Structure 1
Amino acid sequence: MRAAVVTGPRQIVIRDVSVPQPGPGQVRVRLEGCGVCASNITPWEGPEWMTFPTDPGALGHEGWGIVDAIGPDVGSVRVGSRVATLFGNSYAEYDVGDAEALVELPPSLAGSAFPGEPLGCAMNILRRSDIHPGERIAIIGIGFLGALLVQLATHAGAEVIAISRRQSSLELARAMGASTLIPMVDHHAVIKQVAELTGAALCDRVIEATGKQWPLDMAGELVREGGRLVIAGYHQDGPRQINMQQWNWKGIDVINAHERDRNVYIRGIKEAIEAVQTGVLTPDRLYTHRYPLSRLGDALDATREHKDGFIKALVELQ
Structure 2
Amino acid sequence: MAGVISEVGSDLTTLREGQRVVVLNSAPCDHCFFCERGTPELCDNLELLNGAYAEYIRVPAHITRHNVHPLPEGMSFSAAALAEPFACALHAVDKMRLRPGETIALIGAGNMARLLICALKAGGARVLVLGRNAERLQLAIAAGADEVIDLVAEPDGVAAVRRRTAGERGADGVIEAVGKAETWALSVRLVRKGGRICLFGGCAAGSKAEVDTHRIHYEEIALFGVFHHRPSYVRQALELLSQGAVRTDLLIDREIPLDEVVCFFAANREASALKAAVIM
TM-score norm. by structure 2 comes to 0.80
Give the gaps of 5 or more residues in structure 2. 25-48
**1:248 is matched with which residue?**
217
CA deviations 1:138-191 (Å, max 9, x no partner) are 011111221122122223222211111211111111112222211133896111
Instruction: Name the Cα RMSD after superposition.
Output: 2.2
The count of residues paired between Structure 1 and Structure 2 equals: 249
Question: Counterparts of 2:158 and 2:234 in 1: how far apart (Å)?
Answer: 34
Question: Counterparts of 2:119 and 2:17 in 1: how far apart (Å)?
Answer: 34
Q: 1:295 aligns with which of 256, 260, 273?
A: 260
Asked whether 1:135 is paired with 2:102, we answer yes
Q: 1:273 aligns with which of 224, 238, 254?
A: 238
Question: Counterparts of 1:140 and 1:298 in 2: how far apart (Å)?
Answer: 31
- 8 Å CA contact retained: 2:86, 2:116: no
**1:227 is matched with which residue?**
195
**1:175 is matched with which residue?**
142
Give the number of the structure whose residues are more often strand, by fraction: 1
Asked whether 1:102 is paired with 2:64, we answer no
- 8 Å CA contact retained: 1:137, 1:204: yes
Secondary structure (helix, strand or coil) at the match of 2:172 reads strand
CA deviations 1:221-280 (Å, max 9, x no partner) are 111121110122132454232416143333222121113xxxx53222211111122222
Secondary structure (helix, strand or coil) at the match of 1:65 reads strand
Q: 1:83 aligns with which of 21, 38, 46?
A: 21
The alpha-carbon deviation at position 66 of structure 1 amounts to: 0.9
Instruction: For 1:1-318, list aligned pairs within 5 A.
Output: 63-86=1-24, 87-97=49-59, 98=61, 99-100=64-65, 101-110=67-76, 112-115=78-81, 116-185=83-152, 189-198=156-165, 199-236=167-204, 238-243=206-211, 245=213, 246-259=215-228, 265-301=230-266, 304-307=269-272, 310-316=273-279, 318=280
Secondary structure (helix, strand or coil) at the match of 1:154 reads helix
The alpha-carbon deviation at position 282 of structure 1 amounts to: 2.4
Question: Counterparts of 2:263 and 2:87 in 1: how far apart (Å)?
Answer: 26
- 8 Å CA contact retained: 2:139, 2:250: no
The alpha-carbon deviation at position 218 of structure 1 amounts to: 1.2
- 8 Å CA contact retained: 2:200, 2:226: yes
CA deviations 1:49-84 (Å, max 9, x no partner) are xxxxxxxxxxxxxx1111111123212211111111
Give the gaps of 5 or more residues in structure 1. 1-62
% identical aligned pairs: 30
User: Which segment is superposed worse, 236-245 or 264-273?
Assistant: 236-245
CA deviations 1:87-127 (Å, max 9, x no partner) are 32312111112312311112221454421211221222221
Secondary structure (helix, strand or coil) at the match of 1:120 reads helix
